[in-house]
Amino acid sequence: MNKIYTIIVLIVFSISGFAQNDSLCKSITIQSIDWLKNGETEKLHAYFTKKVASKLDVEKTASIWQQITSQYGEFEQIDTTYSKEIKPNLVVNCILSFKEGSLKYRLTFNEENKIAGIFFIPYKTKKPKDRETQETNEFYETKYTFKNQGFKFPAMFCYPKNQEIIATVVFVHGSGPNDMDETIGPNKMFLELAHKLAKNGIASLRYDKRTYIAKQTGNTEGLKTDIDNVVVNDAVKAIEEVKKNEELKNLKVFVVGHSLGANLSPRIAQKSEKLDGIILMAGNSRPLEDLVVEQYEYLYARGGISKAEKAEIKKVKKQAKNVKQLEKDLKKNPNMELNLPLTNDTAFWLSISRYNPIETALSISTPMLILQGSRDYQVTRDDFRNWKKALGPRKKTNYIYYTGLNHLFIKGEGKSYPEEYNRKGDISPVVITDISKWIDNVIDNEFSYETIVH
């Protein structure tokens, strides 16, 4: 089969003013991937302008996706979605990940929110460069590698320079295939935390996540997708590696978990005998499937919820309901057709639905620090309040709520939206100070139980 370099449908230009609904057009674009994937091409075709529809019928549209998947392999996920105005049109771009590569998917919308152009463009993901260590007069890094359950993990130790090391933290990533720096757009949350904590005498270990390594190397042999195998066991192993380090083995070691990593931190503490404290940065206390629904409602409410978006929300609510009854349904019919949010991976959803972070936190005595930003739409104040209410006066547990910080703990104004993550920002200095101070308190066994609001 000839390679697909670019599939282009004629773009129709209009001479009237710009009137597209950005939110609706993004919604149509994202939905259209499901339509293509599920063989519901007629739904996408209904949004074509007459001119585009005359050039590309339903059958031809379906064949495009078949050609793409035959060349690029099974569709995996949408990595990025963004729009730009090219008057008189609105262009929405998605980066699509397939098992064998990536494509840029582009839809052009006219002023009536109709699709006036459709493109699939080859997109080369940048191969990550071999990470070089960094060094200043305040910290230095050394490369490290460890093995666990069939995978080899590139990692990095970061040490304070010219001062006493008081403790070590191990960073645990959020959901998705994350590198050791937890790179999100131009922001590298774990790298920034590592360098800034080192200035306060705290060493750290960060490592590439198992799913990131699988994606980069193409090696998925033996890759299990339940939460223990994707996150927890590797974090426990990383803690053990810290305890092998001659410079660090006699110091207290803490986990700093972000998002899903924060949610799973109590389980990591439950499974590790060597952990002295856990720091939860934007950790959800509520079921993940409920958060997915909440995020759809939040993002679609921007500029008003369209009919198409209401339909998508209804669909996601049904998928969330399917998660809640998944175990029961699979017992009745192991071969049932799946319709779940984010991914149809039953191993992941069964393991996450069986895990209760609050019950797990109540079962351990490990000191906990729970941090939450007010502008975080992914994990919200409801999660923060839920932690506090459920854990109550649990010993050695502290809560800090930050006004104006988003999911990455970067300061901003107004409501937070995904495009904000594509702008470079710095983690609020007060977060670094609070983490460092709390670690000091654990070392000195000094605790105050009030909730702090910054």
Same domain, 268 and 356: yes
Q: Containing domain of residue 53, as a range?
A: 7-123
Which amino acid is located at 56 in the chain? Answer: L
Residue with tokens 């050609």: 67
Same domain, 89 and 188: no
Residue 19 confidence (pLDDT) = 53
Same domain, 178 and 116: no
DSSP β-ladder status, 397-402 and 368-373? parallel
Crossing angle for the helix pair 189-198 and 429-444, to the nearest 10 degrees: 60
- Reported as a single tens digit per residue, the pLDDT across 85-141 is 887 888 998 888 887 788 889 999 998 889 999 998 887 665 556 678 999 999 999
Residue 2 falls within a domain, yes or no? no
Same domain, 102 and 156: no
**Residue 397 in tokens:** 């547990």
Residue 18 confidence (pLDDT) = 41
- As a whole number of angstroms, the distance between CA 135 and CA 261 comes to 27
- Domain final residue pick, 92, 123, 154: 123
- As a whole number of angstroms, the distance between CA 314 and CA 264 comes to 29
Same domain, 96 and 203: no
Q: What is the 3-state secondary structure (H, E, C) of 267-334?
A: HHHHHCCCCCEEEEECCCCCCHHHHHHHHHHHHHCCCCCCHHHHHHHHHHHHHHHHHHCHHHHHHHCC
What is the tally of structural domains in the chain?
A: 2
Same domain, 75 and 104: yes
- As a whole number of angstroms, the distance between CA 27 and CA 318 comes to 18
Same domain, 260 and 377: yes
Residue 217 CB coordination number (10 Å): 10
CB-hemisphere CA count at 13 Å for 18? 10
CB-hemisphere CA count at 13 Å for 342? 16
Residue 415 falls within a domain, yes or no? yes
- Reference 99, options 219, 192, 271; nearest CA is 219
Residue 279 confidence (pLDDT) = 98
- Contact 78/418 with Cβ under 8 angstroms? no
Same domain, 23 and 162: no
CB-hemisphere CA count at 13 Å for 294? 15
54: CATH:
3.10.450.590
Residue 130 confidence (pLDDT) = 66
* Strand ranges, E, within 20-61: none
- Contact 224/230 with Cβ under 8 angstroms? yes
Reduced to 3 states (helix: H, G, I; strand: E, B; else coil), residue 91 is strand
Residue 316 falls within a domain, yes or no? no
Rounded to two decimals, what is the model's pTM?
Answer: 0.76
Indicate the burial class of 119 (C-beta count within 10 angstroms; 0-12, 13-18, 19 or more).
middle
Same domain, 151 and 56: no
Same domain, 104 and 203: no
Alpha carbon 102 to its chain centroid, in Å, reads 18
Residue 178 falls within a domain, yes or no? yes
Residue 318 falls within a domain, yes or no? no
- Reference 361, options 234, 282, 263; nearest CA is 263
151: CATH:
3.40.50.1820
Same domain, 365 and 436: yes
Same domain, 377 and 424: yes
CB-hemisphere CA count at 13 Å for 114? 14
Q: Which residues of the chain fall below pLDDT 70?
A: 1-20, 124-130, 449-450
- Domain final residue pick, 123, 155, 180: 123
448: left (phi over 0), alpha (psi -120 to 50) or beta: beta
Residue 2 confidence (pLDDT) = 38
